[in-house]
Chain A
Amino acid sequence: MEPIISFRDFSFQYRAQKEPTVRHINLDIMPGERVLIAGPSGSGKSTLGNCINGLIPFSYPGEVSGSLVVDGVNAPQSSIFELSAHVGTVLQDPDGQFIGLTVAEDIAFALENSCTPQKEMHEITRRAAELVHIEDHLDYAPHELSGGQKQRVSLAGVMVDQVKILLFDEPLANLDPAAGKQTMELIDDIQRQTETTVLIIEHRLEDVLWRNVDRIILVNDGEIVADMRPDELLSTDLLQKNGIREPLYVTALRYAGVEVTAAKHPGHLPDLKLEKADGQRVRDWFLGAPEAGQAARKPPLLTVSDVSFGYTKERKNLEHISFSVSGGEMLAIVGRNGAGKSTLSKLICGFETPDSGTISLNGRDLKDDSIRERAGQIGYVMQNPNQMISKVMIYDEVALGLSRSCLSEAEIREKVEETLKICGLYPFRNWPISALSFGQKKRVTIASVLAMGPKIIILDEPTAGQDFFHYTEIMEFLRSLNALGVTVIMITHDMHLMLEYTTRALVFSDGRLIADAAPAAVLCDSGLVERAALKETSLFALASLCGIDEPVRFVERFIETDREVRSRGR
C-alpha cells in the first residue's frame, strides 16, 4: 500500500527564525491510520501539521527542503486550496474558527467557496451535521453552543469536502473533561465510518488514549524521537524524557514497582492486562502508605452565604450558594462551562452584585466595597495574559495597580521590587513583556495582581493549553505563593491540576454547588463526575482492577508519592 502522507528528508525554516523548526523528517502515514503526534510546546509538532494542510509555506512563509507528498499531491508546490480538498483541519480554538453566523452557514462555508449549487449545498450540509449529531441545532448562533458543540460544527465543516485526511490541532485544549472524552469518541467513530486517516496533535496523552490510536509519533526539538505503537512507547521512558506526561495509571504502576511492558497493553486502559503478581505489588504499595495527618481547619477568611444571582430575571445563574474558604487554602472550582464558576468569581470580585445572600471577608460584608476597594484584598487573574497586560515594560505593568494608590514613588518601587523577587521576575524587571514566554507572561499578570497585596487570588484556568513543563512551572509557582500564605482559588477544567495541587474542590452544576469535597473523592464518585461533566481519574479504574476498595485513599497515595518523586527530580 502507498502511504497517504510521506515526508522525505523534510525540513522547514520560518522566515523569521535562525534555525529550521523541523529537521530531516522521514515519516510515512498509511491510509486509514490513526496517528497521534505528541511533543512539548515548541517541539515542532504543530509545524508538522501546518506543513500537511498547507498553512506552511503558503500562509507562514519560509524555506522548505526535502519532499512532502500528501494524498498524491506535492504539498510545497501546490496551494492551500488544493490541499484543503484532501486535508480537513480542525484548529484548537473552537470559538475562533467558527466563521458563520449560524451552525448551518459555518458547515457550508467550504461548499460556498467552491461554488456548490444551493440545493446540493443544503443536502451535504445536513448530512455532515447528522454525522456529528448537530442536525437539531442548524440555526443556532455560536454563542448559543457549548465548546464541544462548536468543535463538532468545525468537524462537520471539514467533512463536507470528503477529505481523506483529518487533522486535529490540539482538539482537547479548550474543552471540559467530559466534552474532551466525547470528542475522542466522535473522532474514533467518524474514522471507522469514513475510513479517513486521522492525525491528532496533542500533548495530553492520557485523554487521547481514551480511544485507540495506532501509532504515536513523538517529536522534540524539531525531530522525530519515537515512532511506535502506544503499548511500546509507554513501556519506555521516552515520554518523561521529552516532557510529555504519561497516563497516571502507568505512572502509578511504575511507582508500585510493576514492570510496564508492551505485552500488558498499557496503551489503552480497558485492555490493560496485569499479572497476579502485579496486582499484589500495587496493593502492597498502597498499604505501605504512611498514615496521613488531618490538617487542622483554620477560621474562615472568605464566606459566601446563600448567594443567588441571575443576569436576567427569568434565569438564575447561581442559586443558594454557601461555602467558606480558610486562609492559606488552595482550592479548585470545577464544573462544565456555564455552570456558574465564572459568575461566582465575578460576584466575589464585585463585577456583579448578588441578587440575595452575602459575601464577606474576615467577617466583614463586602456589599458596599467597590471593585477597586476589593482589589486590595482579592486579586483576579484572567485566563489569557494578553488580555491583562497593558504596559510595555514588566516593571510598569506590575506597578500599574499601585500607581493609583496614595503611596509615594519610593514605596511603590519597594513593593514592586519585592513582588518581582517573589515571582522570580526581578532579573527581568527592565525587559519588555513581549520578549517573554507564555508562562512568564502569566507570572507577570500574577505579579501585577500580587503587588496590590491581596489575601486571596482567583485564577481562571491558570494552565490552559500549557504542556507538562510549563504546567509544572506555573503550578509550582502558585504553590510557593500559597506557602507564603496567599489563598489560591482556581477555576479549572484540568483534572490533574485539581488532583495534584488542591486540597479541596467545589463542584458546580447548573448554578448549584453540588459538592464540596477532597479532589480525590470527587473524581472517584461516578455520579458526581457525570453531573458536573468531569472525567473519572484513570487511577480509580486501576484501583478497582487491582481489587483495592479504597479508591480515594489510593488516589491520595499516588499524589503523595508523585509529589515526592517529582520534587526530587527538580
Chain B
Amino acid sequence: MAAKTVLNYLPRKSVVHELTGTTKLVFFLLFTFASMMTYDTRVLLALLLVSVGIFRLSKIRFREVRFMMTFTLVFLVLNNLFIFLFNPDQGTALYGTRHVLFHLFWRYDLTQEQLFYMLNISLKYFVSLPIAILFISATNPSEFAASLSSIGVSYRVSYSVALALRYIPDIQRDYHAISQAQQARGIELGKKEKLLMRLKNSVNILLPLILSSLQRIDVISSAMELRGFGKDKKKRTWYMKRPMKRNDFIAIALGALLLAFSLGMIAANGGRFWNPFAQ
C-alpha cells in the first residue's frame, strides 16, 4: 500500500552489498568529496568510470532506480538552464577566454567556455549519482545506524536515523488515512479545488497528524526507556553490525586513493579548473 517509498533497499548478492554499512558510508563521503572538489574533466571522467563500474558490480539495474535517475536529470537540466540564464559568461570569467559559437538574443551568447563549464557541472552529477543511489539502495537500512555510530556519530543521533526509517512509513499511512477521512467529510483535497483552498484544507490534516504522531512518540519513548535505551551513556552494541573484511579495507583504500588523486590533480593544476582553452 502506501508503504512503497521512492528509494528503497534492493537486496542482491553482490560484492557491493557484502561491504559493511560503514565502508559504504565512508566510501560515499570520500568519493563525493573527491568529485565535488574538482572541475577537471579528465579527473571527472576517470571518476565516472569508477562510479559506473561499481554500479555494474552491485547488480542493481538502472531501470530499478529509474525514478531517482529521471528526477536527478530534470534537476540537472534545470540547474544548467538557470546557470546559463543568470550568468551566461561564467565560463569566460573562469577560463579567461571567449569563443562565441553563436549569438542567441539580448545579452546571451553561447560560448565554448560556458558549454564546457556546464559540461563539467553535468559530469559531476553523473559521477556522484550512481554512488549516492548505491549507498541508499545497497545498504540494508538496519545497518545505517550502526555505520553512522561507527564513524563517531553519537549512538543517540544514529539511532534516530533508524527510528525515522522505521516510522516514516507508518506516518505516511496515518496521513493517508486521515486525508481520506477528511475527504469523506466533504473536504476536497483533490484537483477539483483551488490551490489556496487546498492548502487551507491541508491544515485540517496536519493537526490530527501531529496529535497522533505525538501519541506515537509517547509510546515509543516509553518502550525504549523500558528496554534500557540510554543506559550506557557512551556505548551500545549493534545487532546488525558486521565485521570489516578484506574487501572493506580495499574499498576504503580505493576511496582514499581517489580523493588523493583528485586533490593531487588540483595541486598539480594549481586550481580546481583544468583549462583546455589556455593552450
- B-contacting residues of A (Cβ < 8 Å)? 53-55, 58-59, 80-81, 84-85, 89, 91, 93, 95-102, 104-105, 108-118, 121-122, 125, 142-143, 157-158, 161, 311, 346, 349-351, 370-372, 374-376, 378-380, 382, 384, 386-391, 400-402, 404-405, 448-449, 452
The answer to whether B232 touches A113, judged by C-beta atoms less than 8 angstroms apart, is yes
Provide a sorted-by-A list of 17 A–B residue pairs whose CB atoms are within 8 angstroms. A55-B222, A58-B225, A59-B221, A80-B226, A101-B142, A104-B239, A105-B240, A113-B231, A142-B166, A158-B226, A161-B228, A375-B183, A380-B180, A380-B181, A388-B208, A449-B184, A452-B185
A405 to B185, CA, bound (A): 11
**Distance between Cα atoms of A423 and B224 in the complex (Å):** 40
A112 touches B183 (CB 8 A): no
A311 to B220, CA, bound (A): 30
Q: Note all chain B residues with C-beta closer than 8 A to A387.
A: 174, 177-178, 181, 208-209, 211-212
- Quick one: which of A84, A117, A449 has the most chain B CB within 10 A? A84
User: How many contacts A-B (CB < 8 Å)?
Assistant: 174
Given A80-B225, A81-B231, A112-B236, the answer on whether A91 and B181 have CB atoms closer than 8 Å is: no
Partner of A375, one of B141, B186, B220: B186
Interface range, B side: 35 or more
The answer to whether A386 and B208 touch across the interface, beta carbons within 8 angstroms, is yes
- Residues of A within 8 Å of B227, CB to CB, are 84, 99, 109-110, 113, 157-158
**B229:A109 contact, CB within 8 angstroms:** yes
Contacts of B240 in A (CB 8 A): 105
List, in ascending order, chain B residues with CB within 8 A of A448's CB. Answer: 185
Interface centre among B206, B219, B228, B238 (most CB of A within 10 A): B228
Which single member of B180, B203, B237 contacts A351 (CB below 8 Å)?
A: B180
Complex alpha-carbon distance, A118 and B237, angstroms:
7
Chain B, Cβ-Cβ closest to A451 = B185
B142/A452 in contact, CB under 8 A:
no
Does B182 interact with chain A (Cβ within 8 Å)? yes
Cβ-based interface call for B170 (8 A): yes
Are B232 and A452 in contact, CB atoms less than 8 angstroms apart? no
Decide if B188 is an interface residue (CB 8 Å cutoff). Answer: yes
Shortest beta-carbon distance from B241 to chain A in Å = 7
> Main SS of chain B's interface residues?
helix
Contacts of B226 in A (CB 8 A): 53-55, 80, 84, 89, 91, 158
CB <8 Å contact, A346 and B215: no
In contact, B181 and A372 (Cβ under 8 angstroms):
no
Q: What is the CB-to-nearest-CB distance from A178 to chain B, in angstroms, rounded to a whole number?
A: 24
C-alpha spacing A384/B212, complex, angstroms: 9
* Chain A residues positioned under 8 Å from B204 (CB to CB): 390, 400
B239:A449 contact, CB within 8 angstroms: no
Q: In the complex, A299→B139 CA distance in Å?
A: 59
A126 nearest CB across to chain B (Å): 11
List residues of chain A with CB within 8 A of the CB of B211: 386-387, 389
Closest to B141 in A: A101
| B207 at interface, CB cutoff 8 A | yes
Least Cβ–Cβ distance between B214 and chain A, in angstroms: 9
Closest CB in chain B relative to A390 CB, distance in Å: 4
- A1 CA to B279 CA, complexed, in Å: 96
Minimum Cβ distance to chain A for residue B27 (Å): 22
Q: For B166, what are the chain A residues with a Cβ–Cβ distance below 8 Å?
A: 98-101, 142
Q: B216 near A: Cβ within 8 Å?
A: yes
With a cutoff of 8 Å between Cβ atoms, the chain A residues found around residue B267 in the complex are none
- Taking A81-B228, A98-B166, A386-B212 as known contacts, 10 extra A-B pairs with beta carbons closer than 8 A to each other, sorted by chain A number, are A55-B226, A85-B228, A91-B219, A101-B141, A105-B239, A112-B238, A113-B231, A143-B169, A404-B186, A404-B188
Known: A59-B225, A375-B185, A386-B208. A113 touches B236 (CB 8 A): yes
A111 neighbours in B (Cβ, 8 Å): 237, 239
Chain B residue, CB-CB nearest to A157: B227
Docked complex Cα distance between A350 and B166 (Å): 30
| CA–CA, A161 and B227, complex, Å | 9
B162 contacts the other chain (CB 8 A) = yes
Which residues of the other chain, A, contact B170 by a CB distance below 8 angstroms? Answer: 95
Given A55-B226, A386-B215, A405-B186, decide whether A117 and B237 contact each other with a Cβ distance below 8 A: yes
